Amino acid sequence: MNDCPACGRVKNPAHYLCSRCWYSLGPTTRKSLWRKDSLAAERLRELYQAIQRDIPLADIKVTP
């Protein structure tokens, strides 16, 4: 998937979002999404689900 799910712009395929959207997320959410543990896939699912519900990027919260 090479389109940013939040804004549709081209993004780095290795990243969840384009850099502009990534930095629109809250710092706590970004920190959680960096963590690579058994919950990483679950956090990504929460992120994309929140985007689909049109929750503003700055308000998205994922599992800590």
- The residues binding Zn ion (CB under 5 A) are 4, 6-7, 18, 21
Residue that is written with structure tokens 């896939």 in the block: 41
Instruction: Give the residues across from 10 on adjacent strands.
Output: 3
Q: Which is nearer to Zn ion, 39 or 48 (CB)?
A: 48
Closest CA to 52 of 6, 1, 3, 4: 6
Q: Which is nearer to Zn ion, 6 or 25 (CB)?
A: 6
State the minimum distance, in angstroms, from the CB of residue 50 to Zn ion. 14
Q: Which is nearer to Zn ion, 10 or 38 (CB)?
A: 10
